[in-house]
Amino acid sequence: MRTDRILADPAPRLEPTRPGGHEVPGMSRTRQVLFGTTTVAYAAIVAAVLGTSRLVRLDWQVMLFRPYKQWPQFHAFLDYFVVLGQRGPTAVMVAAWLGWRTWKQRSLRPLLVLGTALLLLNITVGAVKYGLGRLGPHYATTIGSAELFGGGDIFPSGHTANAVVTWGILAYLATTPRARRVLSVVSAMLSLGVGMTTIYLGTHWVSDVLSGWCAGLLVLLALPWFEPLISRAEQWLLVKWTQLRSRWLPTPVTVSPIAARSGVIPPRDAADDAPLLQPVGAGAPARPTAATATATATASRAAHHGMRGHIARLDRATVPAPGNRRPPHVERAAHPATHRGRGNQG
């Protein structure tokens, strides 16, 4: 297993610049038309519920039909399938995927887009829920009534709107047109299935699901207007992360060379043992060896005496070893008395 990626410095993973080729969706003409159309449809559904129109009668007809009793064989499966619309489980799953995308793209934008979308969803859907206070089918009291302002929180459907936003974020953040088309179809099928499942289980009216689809789609269509804010938030978080990281991590200390420290003798190298005197700079005086000092002293004495009669002897003299202070041995000529003795014998 490779550990270089695990033990690497995590700082380069959060770069302020966004990698090239990363397309940010804009508020195109088509998106503006869809946003306006969805807004009108959402307002029409709210007005139909407030006016106890035919849509409310449809709600009661489906509720009294009780689909979960007509097809009980699907009940066990759909009890688990509807979890794909719950806020907690879906947010954890999508956040884990987008966290990997954040690490891969070296950008905080995927997680910031998800947080912005969920915040908008809570504000818009929550305001309508608690403003109208509609009761669910299992708590209805009057047949044919819209069951508004009864302290409920069922309109619009939170499961449906959350499924549209949570799974639609994956299509919104897709980096290629093909991936965006595929993920758009998958998210549409999941949100459609979650909405119909809530009707089957009897936890939501039909009008709740219709308004939930519109509320979730409006959040997705409005996200491009918040892209500048998301970009500024990303830059601000990166700056704060850099500042906190500089406080937590110790500052590296630069160690000066040993020779630059006062009172410390630098180690000897091979150049000090050379037999010849090496040239040195003006700031570093040379340390002559014993052999070099002896040769220099001898040359000075020879210059003082005018080089008289000692040149030959100096040429033949050998430089003593540094530890030997005895003068060099010089062969002397035979004593004249010896020759005179030999002559007297003859």
pLDDT score, position 203 = 93
User: Rounded distance, CA 28 to CA 177, Å?
Assistant: 15
51-56: long-range contacts at Cβ-Cβ below 8 A with a sequence spacing of 24 or more? 52/144, 52/145, 52/146, 55/206, 55/207, 56/144, 56/145, 56/146, 56/207
Q: What is the 3-state secondary structure (H, E, C) of 83-110?
A: HHHCHHHHHHHHHHHHHHHHHHHCCCHH
pTM of the model: 0.65
**Alpha carbon of 171 to those of 50, 95, 165, 211: distances in Å?**
34, 14, 10, 21
pLDDT score, position 106 = 86
pLDDT score, position 289 = 54
Q: What is the 3-state secondary structure (H, E, C) of the chain?
A: CCCCCCCCCCHHHCCCCCCCCCCCCCCCHHHHHHHHHHHHHHHHHHHHHHCCCHHHHHHHHHHHHCHHHHCHHHHHHHHHHHHHHCHHHHHHHHHHHHHHHHHHHCCCHHHHHHHHHHHHHHHHHHHHHHHHCCCCHHHCCCCCCCCCCCCCCCCCCHHHHHHHHHHHHHHHCCCCHHHHHHHHHHHHHHHHHHHHHHHHHCCCCHHHHHHHHHHHHHHHHHHHHHHHHHHHHHHHHHHHHHHHHHHHCCCCCCCCCHHHCCCCCCCCCHHHHCCCCCCCCCCCCCCCCHHHHHHHHHHHHHHHCCCCCCHHHHHHCCCCCCCCCCCCCCCCCCCHHHHHHHHHHC
pLDDT score, position 101 = 87
In terms of Cβ atoms closer than 10 Å to its own Cβ (0-12, 13-18, 19+), residue 212 is: buried
Task: Split the chain (346 residues) into runs of 10 and give each run's mean pLDDT.
Answer: 43 42 70 94 95 92 93 93 91 91 88 94 94 92 90 93 95 90 94 96 95 96 92 89 78 53 51 49 50 58 50 47 51 47 43
pLDDT score, position 292 = 56
